[in-house]
Structure 1
């Protein structure tokens, strides 16, 4: 019964949007606006696939696993940067935490490493590879962040850190 009511409500709403010129034009404007959004980068770049062991503590760049150089990030072209001039080097197997006041950029750095937002200036290198040259799938399936809000977890910590079960357990 609930499903039928939901379908009926959705149908009524759709009909109202189609028939009411005031709301109908708004919905068309929204669709046109979404069509103009820039496309997300490709998930896989065939000519530039990262090695199967990437990132690796035995890779070519043994000094630092993650290097952030002169990073600047904007959430929109017309607003000022939320991060600028960020320099960061993280060694292989190093565990880090950002201990700052709220809204100091730790989430933006995390989103930049996962390429949820691309830098407007500077670069991020992981194990010697510029992440803007890597496909999103190659990048995101190999990088894991533990969020500060534990309520986001479902399942075990292991399932969240290795959701595709690509790492075998060693006794």
Structure 2
């Protein structure tokens, strides 16, 4: 009885219209939900543009009346005066009252436990982060008064993570095209890459993929070393590579940068044992600053404890 009544109702023209209307409403609601989701996704781009537009800007790229002499830095002395820095307003200081002087041509190792402030010291030299207090002087010039390009173009770094861009190998070595091919090949030879590059079909025009993914980690690091050799100023060496590549890097630094001031952030303590002096950072402050031999002679020093833990002392 009930089944027949249902079939009779559904067979009526009005019931068919109700069914069509329900289907149309369902499609409309599905479309509305999909459009709402698309708007929500796309509005993220607007939020990012707003965020970047309101972000604090870096210092001026060039300051014409503050340009140092063309040969600066010619001595390579580095002085931190009561220097302190934080990553953004409201955060704690990551370097506090750092005060030291490095003579021109000195080889200085920088060590410390994780979070001691080693990388922050390097970021400060390049003004990736700006001073909260104090100043840094290179050859008597306050780097805080220079344009960023003026400063960064006079310093050289071999970063812990090799930075390469998609493009030719030559472009990665000499991005501003300021050196001749002969100088580039000489730098490659000093970095122990000459034979490898010669073996490539395209040579210096070999296409490097984004991030250097078509090269090994060691080769990427040696390319960064060759790039530094083309400039020869200030240097941070790294150890995020295999031991053989690290030995090549350290050997090249000792020979080719012998007249430069070299700051080495040590990830393997044996790479800085022949440094002129060692800076030991602890909680953003300089805990020790002396020659390796003097620090090792003191069994109570932090450096001695680190060497003992590493099996060196």
Note whether the superposition's TM-score is higher than 0.5: yes
Give the superposition deviation at 1:19: 7.5
Q: Secondary structure at the match of 1:26?
A: helix
2:120 corresponding residue in structure 1: 108
1:46 corresponding residue in structure 2: 64
TM-score, normalised with respect to structure 1: 0.74
Find the aligned partners of 1:80 and 1:17 in 2 and give their Cα distance: 44
CA RMSD of aligned residues (A): 2.7
Find the aligned partners of 2:62 and 2:97 in 1 and give their Cα distance: 29
The one of the two structures with greater contact order (alpha-carbon pairs below 8 A, sep at least 6) is: 1
Give the superposition deviation at 1:25: 2.7
Over 3 Å counting, the alpha-carbon distance change for 1:121 and 1:162 in structure 2 is: same
2:228 corresponding residue in structure 1: 160
Within a 5 Å distance, the mapping from 1:4-19 to structure 2 comes to none
Find the aligned partners of 1:139 and 1:18 in 2 and give their Cα distance: 48
Find the aligned partners of 2:94 and 2:103 in 1 and give their Cα distance: 25
Q: Secondary structure at the match of 1:137?
A: helix
Find the aligned partners of 1:52 and 1:161 in 2 and give their Cα distance: 19
Over 3 Å counting, the alpha-carbon distance change for 1:156 and 1:26 in structure 2 is: closer
TM-score, normalised with respect to structure 2: 0.42
Give the superposition deviation at 1:144: 1.7
Match of 2:47 among 1, 24, 29: 29
Give the superposition deviation at 1:148: 4.5
Aligned length: 144
Find the aligned partners of 1:17 and 1:124 in 2 and give their Cα distance: 54
Structure 1 stretches (4+) deviating beyond 6 angstroms?
16-19
Match of 1:97 among 90, 105, 109: 109
Find the aligned partners of 1:121 and 1:21 in 2 and give their Cα distance: 45
Find the aligned partners of 2:125 and 2:140 in 1 and give their Cα distance: 14
> Structure 1: which 5+ residue stretches go unaligned?
1-15, 58-63
Structure with greater helix share of residues: 2
2:147 corresponding residue in structure 1: 135
> Structure 2: which 5+ residue stretches go unaligned?
1-33, 163-216, 233-255, 257-313
Question: Quick check: 1:121 aligned with 2:119?
Answer: no
Question: Quick check: 1:69 aligned with 2:77?
Answer: no
Find the aligned partners of 2:90 and 2:48 in 1 and give their Cα distance: 20
Q: Is the 8 A contact 2:157 2:228 kept in 1?
A: no
- Give CA deviations for 1:44-84 in whole Å, capped at 9, x if unaligned: 11011010110112xxxxxx811101111111102111111
2:91 corresponding residue in structure 1: 79
Structure label with greater radius of gyration: 2
Q: Is the 8 A contact 1:18 1:24 kept in 2?
A: no
Over 3 Å counting, the alpha-carbon distance change for 1:98 and 1:148 in structure 2 is: farther
Q: Secondary structure at the match of 2:108?
A: coil
Q: Is the 8 A contact 1:69 1:86 kept in 2?
A: yes
Q: Secondary structure at the match of 1:93?
A: coil
